[in-house]
Amino acid sequence: MTISSLEEQQDLRRTVRAFLETKSPETEVRRLMETREGYDPDVWQQLGTQLGLLGLTIPEELGGSGTSFVELCIAMEEMGAALLCAPYFSTVVLASTTLLQAADAAMQKEYLPLIAAGELIATIALTEESGRWDESGVAMRASKSGVEWKLDGTKMFVLDGCTADLVITCARTDAGISLFAVDASAPGLTRTSMNTMDRTRKQARLEFRGAPGRLIGAEGTGWKVLGQVLDLAAIALAAEQVGGTQRCLDMALTHARNRIQFGRPIGSFQAIKHKCSNILIGLESAKSAVYHAASCAAESSSEVPVMASLAKAHCSDTFFHAAAENIQIHGGIGFTWEHSAHLYFKRAKASEVLFGDGIYHREQLAQRIGI
């Protein structure tokens, strides 16, 4: 990286952080997590038209900024720290990346400019009732009738599935797993909101009963695309987890400095010092893992699969540990609904299992390096 690019990345971080401090305070997070939609349409438009964050990795000729995956991870880190309630991950990280990786020029031209402008919310529907994230977990079928494709089956845990305008769905055909663009208003598609632990990130159950879909890319190439998308999504989610870890550490340190017991701050006690220092050690190594992985992604390196699993496994454990220790450091107040500590704890747990937990990714890592 050049000095100029580093300065631009720092400017991006400051801009996103300042925006989120205004638009995503805790009061707004709590308000939005109680709504069905789970986001503010005005803020969503501002993310696109004012900040250009919805088109970070979309090429300029398609209405985006054409930046690298590193910039996307910077934005994700700041959003994780603020617990931004918005369909950003589903639309920008999942759907946009899928369209880019599928290399379907017609679909890219149709959808990516709308995503960059904040005019289209999109997601991918992958996981089914088995809860598996691998190829064998896809059971949904797609059949061709004339020139039309019809999808039948159920998808679970679809991020922002009730608010998305476009659902990119994977299903099996005679040629293998394929990708389909399904309009949210398509006949035969039923969307049901799911009650989950993390209410700041909405999930849905989608039932397809002969719902029409349009083929994305070539038939039978869906899993090759999704394999790449899941690796990139794991890196972006790890960056979000880094932001959450940093916020948990900041909260813990502030409380440790201000809470007085036995005539002195609790931060002066050795047990509290050890807890905070252990969070910091995990955080620094997590940052290193994420941004090395992001750099590999930006350069389309062959190391991406290995680094994706390494970053996701480590950052999942680090964030969950930090969120749990933050509650312990706060003591009794940390367990209450009124305190924000539980919001990060729930996000940490939900993010841990999203795209596979640490055990899953360590197994993936072992296979990918040939152990």
Neighbours of 35 (CB within 10 A): 12
pTM of the model as a whole: 0.95
Burial of 364 (0-12, 13-18, 19+ CB in 10 A): buried
What gap in Å lies between CA 69 and CA 298, rounded to an integer?
A: 5
| Domains of the chain in sequence order | 3-121 (1.10.540.10), 123-221 (2.40.110.10), 223-368 (1.20.140.10)
For residue range 124-137, list pLDDT tens digits in order. 999 999 889 989 99
The CA distance from 125 to 157, in Å, is: 8
* pLDDT band, very low/low/confident/very high, at 147 (cuts 50, 70, 90): confident
State the distance between the two ends of the chain, measured CA to CA, in whole angstroms.
33
Average pLDDT score over residue span 2-17: 83
Evaluate if residue 99 carries a pLDDT over 80.
yes
- In this structure, are residues 84 and 28 in contact, taking their beta carbons and an 8 Å threshold? no
Which pLDDT score, from 0 to 100, does residue 1 have? 41
Above pLDDT 90, what percent of the chain?
Answer: 93
Q: What is the pLDDT of residues 23-77, one digit of tens each?
A: 999 999 999 999 999 999 999 999 999 999 999 999 999 999 999 999 999 999 9
The answer to whether residues 190 and 209 touch, using CB atoms and an 8 Å cutoff, is: yes
pLDDT per residue over 73-91, tens digit each?
A: 999 999 999 999 999 999 9
26: tokens are: 């805790």
pLDDT of residue 145: 83
Do 240 and 329 form a contact (C-beta atoms < 8 A)? no
- 332 pLDDT band, cuts 50/70/90, is confident
CA dihedral angle for residue 322, residue 323, residue 329, residue 335, rounded to 10 degrees: -170
Provide the token pair at 48.
């696109």
Q: What φ, ψ does residue 265 adopt, rounded to 5°?
A: -60, 145
- 127: its two tokens: 């996981």
- DSSP-assigned letter for residue 61: G
Q: What is the pLDDT of residues 285-300, one digit of tens each?
A: 999 999 999 999 999 9
